[in-house]
Structure 1
Amino acid sequence: MILKKKEFFLLIFLILLQSCSGGRIGNFLESSFNDLEKISQDEDSQNNLLNKKIVEKENKEINVKKNKKMEKVEKLRNVLENKKDINLEKENKEINVKKNKKMEKVEKLRNVLENKEDINSEKISKQTKNKIKNFSKKRKIELQSYKIIFILKDVDPKYLTEELSSILSNSEVNFEIEKIERILDSKNKSMNEN
Structure 2
Amino acid sequence: MSVALVGLMVFLAVLFALLAWIGPRRIYWAFGAWAHRDPRANEPSDAAYAIRRFGYFAMSAASVAAAIGIAQWQGLFTPEVVRVRVAVEEAAERMADAVVTGAESTDAKAGRFDSQVRSALLRASPPNLELVATHVSGERYTVTTKAGKHPFCLLVRTTPQYLHLPGPESGTITTSYPKLSASVREGACG
For this structure pair, what is the TM-score category when the shorter chain's length is used for normalisation? Answer: under 0.3
Larger Rg: 1
TM-score, normalising length: structure 1: 0.23
Select the structure that is richer in helix: 1
Select the structure that is richer in strand: 2
Q: Return the structure number with greater relative CO, CA threshold 8 A, min gap 6.
A: 2
